[in-house]
Amino acid sequence: MPSLAVVGSQWGDEGKGKIVDYLAEEAQVVARFQGGNNAGHSVKVGEELFKLHHLPSGILRKGKLAVIGNGVVIDPGVLISEIDGLESRGVSVANLRISDRAHVIMPYHKLLDGAEERLRKGAKVGTTGRGIGPAYADKAARLGIRMMDIVDDGLLREKLGFLVPLKQRYLEMCGDATKLDGAAMLKEYSAHGTRLGPFVTDTGAIVRDALKKRKNVLFEGAQGTMLDIDHGTYPYVTSSATVAGNAASGSGVPPSAIDDVFGVVKAYTTRVGEGPFPTELLDDIGKTIADKGGEFGTTTGRSRRCGWLDLMVTKHAHALSGFTGLAMTKIDVLGGFDELKICTHYRLDGKKVAHFPADLRVLQKCEPVYKRFDGWEDLEGAALDRVLKRGFSALPENMRRYVRFVEKEMGVPVTMLGLGRRRHEILDLRKRKWKNK
Ligand code: GDP
Ligand code: IMO
Ligand code: MG
């Protein structure tokens, strides 16, 4: 490794959890650096399925330090349920560390998430409703409550003293008549603080120390580049920076400490919630991909919109995060189609579009230009086992063509190739010789 950031290169749900779970075997520390419980990372270990929202995927590997960094927003009640759920399944969370600087999602954030969405009328973002946007907004407005505040109920009492009346007024303005109960909130969140207190610490210092000792550190991204607050399809984005640069700031380490960045690229594209999606397939092909890929949200259970792989999107992601490797997931889902397509670029008024447009009105007018590929048979059973044993050269020729085309266009090698849901159904191509030609 020794330090590697894993980030989503599309609209989230690329399979980051599975990639991090695989790589975590070699790491000593796994740190989440942004997002909150809007994230849903599914990891299949044997026949057991784990759905992680707050906890880094490294928690499933024994003995790894699992860090929730300062850039994350935490719903303490949800985190406690997640911890209890894992412990009841025999997974220890003794190695969990939570940043004292991480911000807390409060009950009024969840109410406001819903109220603001309702007020947007036709321009809903389609949020997960977890209070993420309002919590990050309060952080930026210096009205946030941090994990250290709930551990010390004196600090919490002081902050709630002015925040509850303020939020009450804002809720009323947003048309939500819920009466906030400051005393109940204080009691509930102090109890959460007592429960989580033993895990709360200066995680930045811990991760920096691990890096200094040349331990392998994995930074686990949530969401994806097109949901980035600055670089995504604003306003149809989440409220944090999802690009690799934030792995440093969101976990309290210098950018120079990050050696490698893997961009997770689903072999096709999906999106949950509202917003533009140029290569979306509204036909039977889109439906087949959704069914085969089990494309339902890990967090909200909503159907994911599906479309062809879009290199305008993944190139934008690479330009921002500087991938040193691509983890291509779910290529198995594309088996059994006669033909496949990849969007190589967009055309506008007869001209090739150079960069991903900021203006969604411009994006709407862009026409995706596709290259077509011959399909391949489904890779299952003995054929899959053979590939997992023999490696890249044993893959169907047309699948190799598809992968090589993406590598060439992106100028980045595919270092991992996901061939199924389970932990071992992945080709580790980090040692494969690759020439950029
Ligand atoms: P994340 O949010 O980026 O971690 O992705 P999700 O967990 O929300 O969604 C990815 C889904 O695809 C999960 O259900 C994974 O179990 C599954 N998955 C990950 N990699 C692969 C793969 O290579 N093949 C298949 N068939 N499923 C995969
Ligand atoms: P993972 O980590 C896919 C989407 C929501 C909505 C927008 C804003 O599993 O890849 P928010 O609740 O964040 O304010 O919603 O972002 N979204 C995700 N889509 N995967 C995610 O996380 C997402 N987290 C948020 O659907 O469109
Ligand atoms: Mg997900």
Dump pLDDT digits (tens) for 152-194: 989 999 999 999 999 999 999 999 999 999 999 999 999 999 9
Q: Parallel, antiparallel, or unpaired for β 269-271 and 305-307?
A: antiparallel
User: Where do we find the tokens 């290169």?
Assistant: 9
DSSP state of 271: E
Question: What residue owns the CA closest to ligand 1's atom 22?
Answer: 330
Instruction: Give the count of domains, the chain.
Output: 2
177: CA distance to ligand 2 center in Å? 27
Query: Which DSSP letter does residue 178 get?
Result: P
Tens-digit pLDDT profile for residues 109-139: 999 999 999 999 889 999 999 999 999 999 9
> What is the CA(223)–ligand 2 centre distance, in A?
6
Is residue 289 in some structural domain? yes
Over 80: is that where the pLDDT of 435 sits?
Answer: no
| For the CA of 333, the nearest atom of ligand 1 | 26
Contacts (Cβ under 8 Å, ≥6 apart) of 291: none
Pocket test for ligand 2, best of 51, 53, 220, 238 (most atoms within 8 A of CB): 238
| Residue 420 Cβ contacting ligand 1 at under 6 Å | yes
**Residue 153 belongs to some domain of the structure:** yes
| pLDDT 10s digits, 376-409 | 999 999 999 999 999 999 999 999 999 999 999 9
Last residue of a domain, one of 153, 173, 199: 199
Last residue of a domain, one of 145, 172, 199: 199
Residue written as token pair 């952080």 = 139
Are 191 and 208 in the same domain? no
Whether residues 333 and 225 share a domain: the answer is yes
Percentage of the chain exceeding pLDDT 90: 95
For 142, the 3-state DSSP assignment is coil
Domain containing residue 306: CATH number: 3.90.170.10
Q: Tell me if 293 CB under 6 Å of ligand 2.
A: no
Tokens of 128: 């997960």
Contacts of 310 (CB under 8 A, 6+ apart): 10, 269, 278, 279, 342, 343, 368
Site of tokens 């947003």: 174
Asked if 252 contacts 98 with a C-beta cutoff of 8 angstroms, the reply is: no
Nearest to 229 by CA among 216, 217, 243, 218: 243
Question: Is residue 82 a part of any domain in this protein?
Answer: yes
pLDDT for 336 equals 96
Query: By alpha-carbon position, which residue is closest to atom 8 of ligand 1?
Result: 13
Indicate the residue among 199, 217, 243 that finishes a domain: 199
Break the chain down into helix, strand, coil percent, rounded to 5: 40, 20, 40
pLDDT band with cut points at 50, 70 and 90 for residue 219: very high
Please check the confidence at residue 238 and state whether its pLDDT lies above 60.
yes
Does one domain contain both 237 and 351?
yes
Q: Which residues of 183-195 are buried (b: 16+ CB within 10 A; e: fewer)?
A: eebbeebbebbeb
Closest CA to 16 of 34, 382, 302: 34
CA of 10 to the centre of ligand 3 (A): 11
DSSP SS3 for 386:
helix
Is the pLDDT at 32 greater than 90? The verdict is yes
Domain that holds residue 165: 103-199
Same domain flag for 390 and 246: yes
pLDDT at 297: 83
How far is Cα 250 from Cα 245, in angstroms, rounded to an integer?
9
**338, part of any domain:** yes
- Within a 10 A sphere around the Cβ of 77, how many other Cβ atoms? 16
* Average pLDDT score over the chain: 96
Same domain, 25 and 152: no
Q: Considering the domain boundaries, does residue 436 fall inside one?
A: no
- Cβ within 8 Å of residue 319, ≥6 positions away: none
Do residues 111 and 246 both lie within one domain?
no
Classify residue 98: in a domain, yes or no. Answer: no
- 250-268 average pLDDT score: 97
Percent of the chain with pLDDT over 70: 99
Same domain for 135 and 50:
no
Pair 78, 148 in one domain: no
| pLDDT for the residue 436 | 67
- Same domain for 273 and 168, yes or no, is no
For position 152, which CATH number holds?
A: 1.10.300.10
> In this structure, are 127 and 112 located in the same domain?
yes
Per-residue pLDDT averaged across 331-351, rounded? 97
State whether 72 and 168 are in the same domain.
no
Give pLDDT, residue 1. Answer: 64
Whether residue 433 is contained in a domain is answered as no
> 97 in a domain, yes or no?
no
User: Is residue 359 located within the same domain as residue 242?
Assistant: yes
Residue to mutate, 54, 421, 427, 428, ligand 1, most ligand atoms under 8 Å from C-beta: 421
